[in-house]
């Protein structure tokens, strides 16, 4: 009996010491982060010396901190867990926490971080509990509305369609930015009228630097063949409304170069690939554009697209 009590006492002391050690480790990490110090070494050690479940549970208290930097780091760590853990239950709990707590944080910067991490996670990891909570948040018109709606479109949350359509057609307070966001989400959920509307709005403005950097990525988000038909059509003829990327030597260039860089990763057999930096892989840009336009003429009707998840 005495031996058993001693054994239990030793186990308790060991667990207490381990918990205290973990607390010290977390406190040191967050203290360094508050002081704007590099934490990569400490963060790596944290992941090496603790299970993902332990880290997730420990971060809860920091997401309740009055100090924004504490909450910011805690949500980053929870986001990392949601993106890289192989434990589906833990992953789904982390996703729910990012939605239920992260998207309701008083800091818009933290809300943005939560959305960014949620966008990294496979759509298959979102369970009904998370989707339902996410839908409730969307109905309250939260900050970063466009980012949030685009994630909803990606998740194919068709339960939101009646709400979004009602806002789009009946809400007189809706600004143009939010109208565009709703159209994009509905179009991503395969509403052909909205796909057509998005394309026509961009076509009405015309292709230029601003459209290429701000609106064309939105069209690509739709993952729709009609979008690529439109972009290849725009790419097939000269358009000198764009400028070079060098701020010290801005010159007029054909917008086709920029369009080719954007569509190339999504079209199977596209004649010119892009480098890791996103530039066309070629030595002669004029010849590359000629090659691309010749390819479009030959393949306009039967090209194939590839949209990674």
Q: Which tens digit of pLDDT belongs to each residue from 47-69?
A: 999 999 999 999 988 999 999 99
Beta-strand pair 267-268/252-253: unpaired
pLDDT for the residue 249: 76
Chain-centre distance for alpha carbon 143: 15
Residue 14 in this model has a pLDDT that exceeds 50: no
Q: Which helix (H) or strand (E) holds 182?
A: helix 176-188
Q: What is the mean pLDDT of residues 133-156?
A: 96
pLDDT of residue 292: 97
How far is 105 from 151, CA to CA, in rounded Å?
Answer: 18
Q: Given this model, what pLDDT does residue 309 score?
A: 65
CA 84 to CA 289: how far, in whole Å? 40
Band of residue 11 on the pLDDT scale cut at 50, 70, 90: very low
Going by pLDDT thresholds of 50, 70 and 90, the confidence category of residue 5 is very low
Inform me whether the pLDDT recorded for 20 exceeds 70.
no
pLDDT of residue 36: 95
Q: Which of 255, 274, 174, 169 is nearest to 212 (CA)?
A: 255
pLDDT recorded at residue 245? 78
Q: CA nearest 272: which of 251, 257, 254?
A: 257
pLDDT of residue 9: 39
pLDDT bucket at 22, cuts 50 / 70 / 90 = low
Domain ranges of the chain: 207-309
pLDDT at site 35: 95
pTM: 0.88
Q: Cβ distance 274 to 281 under 8 Å?
A: yes
Query: Taking 70 as the threshold, does the pLDDT of residue 13 lie above it?
Result: no
CA atoms lying within 13 Å on the CB side of residue 106: 7
Q: What is the pLDDT of residues 203-212, one digit of tens each?
A: 999 999 999 9
């Amino acid at each position: 009996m005495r031996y058993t009590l001693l054994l239990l006492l030793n186990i308790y002391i060991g667990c207490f010491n381990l918990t205290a050690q973990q607390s010290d480790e977390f406190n040191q990490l967050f203290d360094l982060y508050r002081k704007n110090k590099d934490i990569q070494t400490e963060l790596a050690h944290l992941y090496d010396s603790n299970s993902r479940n332990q880290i997730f549970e420990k971060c809860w208290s920091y997401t309740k901190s009055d100090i924004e930097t504490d909450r910011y780091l805690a949500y980053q760590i929870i986001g990392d867990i949601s993106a890289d853990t192989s434990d589906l239950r833990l992953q789904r709990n982390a996703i729910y926490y990012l939605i239920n707590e992260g998207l309701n944080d008083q800091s818009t910067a933290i809300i943005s971080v939560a959305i960014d991490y949620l966008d990294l996670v496979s759509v298959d990891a979102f369970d009904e509990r998370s989707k339902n909570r996410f839908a409730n948040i969307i109905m309250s018109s939260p900050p970063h509305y466009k980012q949030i709606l685009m994630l909803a479109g990606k998740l194919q949350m068709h339960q939101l369609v009646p709400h979004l359509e009602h806002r789009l057609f009946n809400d007189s307070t809706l600004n143009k930015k939010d109208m565009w966001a709703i159209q994009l989400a509905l179009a991503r959920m395969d509403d052909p009228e909205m796909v057509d509307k998005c394309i026509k709005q961009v076509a009405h403005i015309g292709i230029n630097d601003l459209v290429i950097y701000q609106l064309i990525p939105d069209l690509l988000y739709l993952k729709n063949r009609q979008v690529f038909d439109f972009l290849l059509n725009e790419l097939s003829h000269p358009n000198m409304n764009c400028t070079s990327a060098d701020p010290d030597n801005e010159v007029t260039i054909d917008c086709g170069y920029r369009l080719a860089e954007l569509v190339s990763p999504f079209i199977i057999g596209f004649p010119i690939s892009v480098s890791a930096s996103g530039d066309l892989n070629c030595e002669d840009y004029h010849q590359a554009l000629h090659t691309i336009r010749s390819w479009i003429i030959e393949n306009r009707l039967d090209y194939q697209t590839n949209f990674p998840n």
